[in-house]
């Protein structure tokens, strides 16, 4: 997604520049000069790789060596560290070395500096010896709008060089990275579908499943996983999103016109396109796309956007089904799902602490998130210095661990769990879940359906996903942490959302100062996507966009003020419920 790639690319460039200046002007501290938590964190950040760039895709019998990317740092942190490498093929059969074509997983084991087991796993691909040159795809890189309207004429004159370099870089990336090996292995194993592959059918998700199957085999847990049951039939059915009159929605006659007019002016002023859906009592008040994409084409209602930290809400709703069905309890420690974790250890957080930001952990997307086959093991390698409930620290790592727990309990990749047990039952399209805390991609309608699920307290239409008692356990409640006495309401993937009336005190919690009810729920989003639910008024507000756009701080309050102003006072409830 362009906005996210731009942000990450800029961040990477800045990191490289700062790192270069740091290396040039300062010396690295020795382990003795670091605190134990700093030592643990540095070890957790160490990655395995191959000695040469092209080692990830190779001829059978020519397996690469595996080394630490920063071997000097590892030696400083743990001079006696040794690891063993075992090779497994696509059928999880072990061989001394890769001797036939196909996917290979290098399973790496050892002992971490804190004495816990070290587990890592990497994907490689051995290509067939008789592969035909004619079967290779054309990897020419196209630049449709090269070089852009404001570029020098010299750029156009050198377009052929950009094309050659782009193609060369792509080939190097495929042959010289684990990402490339994962893609090639997935394509090697795939069979034609007769349609575009969905996210859960992607090479990346197939790779997740391959690693999970091997991990369960190595732990002896392959036969101990169990299926998550489907949602229960619900009669009478809960409210679902549907078309209806403004009277049935309990809105003013001009509600749609006023919301749409505000959104149209917002999109025209900022040039940032978005889709808005507002519903009350399940009746869709407005569902409309505003603005055009980078090519000048108007966006459609199925405009799919990165929702950033709203992904945490999705993960919490998904994980609540595991609690509802007795797989785990909120206050169970991570050892309930991960065999290597010690039981009854105060350093090990609970699932509740993982989802309410009191786990003691930190970071967003660190260590590869749920895509890392052994993410929980990296956390374990620093668990001896972890302090659950010591402080409140907004963190995504706990949500990633919840996703890894779902894998271990069901034997399904996390992406498949979301799709089978939440997205498909709710009728969603091809949702992409890059990680469990900050990398989901949704449409406005999909977010609104999740919002109605929350407004219905865990049900949608004729399906009950969780009981009302389990749903209540997701709600914000006071938490108190040890270090600073912090006490505030915090939910599991949900927060109280307070939009205040014009002229109200900035931090007021008084109901008379709020646009919506005092128990309005939602979550923030770095991309400024919106999901707001006022259960008392049965109001759902969803908006997807790919970035905030200019003057977001001016338009966003007007947006919510407009919605609040078109809710009809004392409107009677509709008698018909679909």
Is the separation of the CB atoms in 267 and 558 below 8 Å? no
Determine which helix (DSSP H) or strand (DSSP E) holds 111, and give its type and residue range.
strand 102-111
Is-cis flag, bond preceding 31, omega within 30?
A: no
Structural domains present in the chain = 27-149+157-189 (2.60.40.1080)
Confidence of residue 486 (pLDDT cuts 50, 70, 90): low
Residue 212 CA: distances (Å) to CA of 67, 119, 340 = 23, 13, 15
Lowest mean pLDDT among 58-62, 100-104, 347-351, 359-363: 58-62
Which of these, 135, 140, 202, 131, lies nearest to 169 by C-alpha position?
140
Is the separation of the CB atoms in 359 and 395 below 8 Å? yes
Is the separation of the CB atoms in 248 and 281 below 8 Å? yes
- Tokens coding 9: 């690319």
Which three-class secondary structure string do you get for 259-273? HHHHHHHHHHHHCCC
Q: What is the pLDDT of residue 239?
A: 98
Strands 48-49 and 67-68: antiparallel
User: What's the rounded mean pLDDT across residues 27-52?
Assistant: 88
Confidence of residue 364 (pLDDT cuts 50, 70, 90): confident
User: What's the rounded mean pLDDT across residues 235-259?
Assistant: 97
Is the separation of the CB atoms in 309 and 523 below 8 Å? yes
User: 542 versus 27: which is more confidently predicted?
Assistant: 542
User: What's the rounded mean pLDDT across residues 270-294?
Assistant: 97
Which three-class secondary structure string do you get for 351-367? HHHHHCCCCCCCCCCHH
Which of these, 280, 226, 227, 229, lies nearest to 466 by C-alpha position?
229
Q: Which residues contact 359 (CB under 8 A, 6 or more apart)?
A: 349, 350, 353, 386, 388, 395, 397, 398
Q: Write the DSSP assignment of 193-258 as a string of letters.
A: -SSPPPGGGSHHHHHHHHHHHHHHHHHT-TTT--PPPPPEE-SSPPP--B---HHHHTB-TTHHHH
Confidence of residue 406 (pLDDT cuts 50, 70, 90): very high
Is the separation of the CB atoms in 212 and 404 below 8 Å? no
Coil, strand or helix at 176: coil
- Tokens coding 169: 């870089």
Lowest mean pLDDT among 42-56, 118-132, 393-407: 118-132
User: What's the rounded mean pLDDT across residues 438-449?
Assistant: 98
Q: For residue 34, what are the β-bridge partners?
A: none
| pLDDT at residue 205 tops 90 | yes
| pLDDT at residue 578 tops 50 | no
- Tokens coding 150: 């404001």
Distance CA 373, CA 215 (A): 8
Determine which helix (DSSP H) or strand (DSSP E) holds 119, and give its type and residue range.
strand 117-126
Coil, strand or helix at 496: strand
Q: What is the pLDDT of residue 26?
A: 46
Question: How deeply is 210 buried, as exposed, middle or buried, from its count of CB atoms within 10 A (0-12, 13-18, 19+)?
Answer: buried
| pLDDT at residue 164 tops 70 | yes
Distance CA 457, CA 470 (A): 9
Please report, in angstroms and rounded to a whole number, the separation of the first and last CA atoms in the chain.
36
Distance CA 371, CA 173 (A): 19
Mean pLDDT of the chain: 91
Determine which helix (DSSP H) or strand (DSSP E) holds 494, and give its type and residue range.
none
139-148, 169-178, 306-315, range with greatest mean pLDDT:
306-315
Which of these, 102, 64, 71, lies nearest to 85 by C-alpha position?
64
Distance CA 552, CA 566 (A): 21
Which of these, 94, 98, 103, lies nearest to 209 by C-alpha position?
103
* pTM, full prediction: 0.91
CB neighbourhood size of 374 (10 A): 24
Q: What is the pLDDT of residues 370-400, one digit of tens each?
A: 999 999 999 999 999 999 999 899 999 999 9
User: What's the rounded mean pLDDT across residues 32-43?
Assistant: 93
User: 145 versus 261: which is more confidently predicted?
Assistant: 261
| pLDDT at residue 103 tops 80 | yes
Q: Write the DSSP assignment of 488-514 as a string of letters.
A: EEE-SS-EE--PBPTTS-TT---GGGB
Lowest mean pLDDT among 33-37, 158-162, 214-218, 426-430: 158-162
Q: What is the pLDDT of residues 544-573, one digit of tens each?
A: 999 999 999 999 999 999 999 999 986 544
User: 22 versus 318: which is more confidently predicted?
Assistant: 318
Is the separation of the CB atoms in 242 and 284 below 8 Å? yes
Find how far residue 378's CA is from the centre of its chain.
18
Q: What is the pLDDT of residue 132?
A: 52
How large is the C-alpha radius of gyration of the chain? 26
Distance CA 403, CA 410 (A): 11
């Amino acid at each position: 997604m362009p906005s996210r790639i731009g942000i990450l690319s800029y961040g990477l460039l800045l990191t490289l520049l700062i790192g270069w200046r740091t290396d040039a002007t300062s010396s690295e501290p020795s382990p003795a000069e670091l605190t134990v938590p700093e030592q643990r964190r540095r070890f957790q950040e160490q990655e395995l790789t191959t000695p040469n760039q092209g080692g990830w895709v190779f001829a059978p019998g020519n397996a690469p060596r595996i080394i630490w990317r920063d071997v000097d740092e590892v030696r400083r942190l743990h001079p006696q560290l040794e690891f063993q490498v075992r090779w497994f093929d696509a059928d999880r059969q072990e061989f001394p070395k890769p001797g036939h074509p196909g996917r290979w997983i290098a399973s790496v084991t050892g002992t971490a500096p804190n004495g816990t087991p070290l587990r890592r796993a990497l994907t490689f691909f051995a290509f067939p010896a008789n592969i035909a040159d004619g079967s290779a795809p054309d990897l020419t890189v196209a630049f449709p709008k090269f070089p852009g309207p404001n570029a020098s004429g010299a750029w156009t004159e050198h377009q052929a060089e950009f094309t050659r370099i782009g193609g060369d870089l792509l080939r190097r990336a495929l042959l010289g990275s684990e990402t490339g090996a994962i893609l090639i292995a997935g394509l090697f194993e795939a069979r034609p579908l007769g349609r575009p592959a969905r996210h859960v059918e992607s090479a990346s998700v197939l790779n997740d499943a391959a690693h999970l199957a091997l991990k369960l085999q190595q732990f002896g847990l392959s036969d101990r996983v169990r299926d998550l049951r489907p949602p229960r039939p619900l009669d009478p059915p809960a409210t679902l999103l549907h078309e209806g009159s403004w009277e049935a929605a309990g809105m003013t006659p001009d509600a749609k016109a006023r919301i749409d007019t505000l959104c149209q002016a917002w999109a025209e002023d900022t040039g940032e396109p978005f889709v808005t859906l507002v519903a009350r009592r399940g009746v869709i008040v407005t569902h409309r796309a505003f603005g055009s994409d980078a090519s000048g084409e108007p966006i459609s209602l199925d405009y799919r956007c990165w929702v950033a930290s709203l992904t945490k809400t999705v993960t919490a709703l998904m994980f609540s089904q595991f609690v509802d069905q007795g797989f785990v309890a909120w206050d169970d420690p991570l050892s309930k799902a991960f065999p290597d974790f010690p039981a009854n250890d105060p350093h090990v957080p609970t699932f509740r602490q993982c989802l309410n930001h009191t786990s003691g952990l930190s970071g967003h997307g660190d260590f590869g998130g749920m895509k890392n086959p052994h993410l929980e093991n990296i956390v374990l390698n620093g668990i001896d210095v972890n302090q659950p409930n010591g402080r409140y620290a907004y963190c995504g790592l706990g949500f990633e661990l919840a996703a890894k727990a779902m894998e271990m309990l069901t034997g399904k990749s996390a992406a498949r769990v979301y799709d089978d047990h939440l997205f498909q039952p709710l009728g969603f399209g091809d949702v992409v879940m890059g990680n469990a805390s900050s990398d989901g991609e949704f449409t406005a309608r999909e977010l609104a359906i999740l919002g109605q699920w929350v407004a219905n307290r865990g049900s949608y239409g004729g399906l009950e996903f969780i009981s009302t008692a389990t749903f209540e356990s997701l709600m914000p409640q006071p938490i108190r942490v040890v270090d600073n006495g912090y006490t505030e309401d915090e939910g599991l993937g949900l927060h109280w959302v307070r939009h205040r009336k014009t002229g109200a005190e900035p931090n007021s919690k008084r109901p008379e100062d709020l646009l919506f009810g005092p128990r309005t729920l939602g979550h923030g989003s770095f991309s400024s996507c919106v999901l707001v639910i006022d259960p008392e008024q049965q109001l759902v507000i969803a908006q997807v966009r790919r970035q905030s756009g200019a003057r977001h701080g001016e338009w966003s309050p007007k947006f919510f003020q407009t919605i609040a102003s078109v809710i009809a006072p004392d409107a009677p409830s509709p008698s018909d419920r679909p």
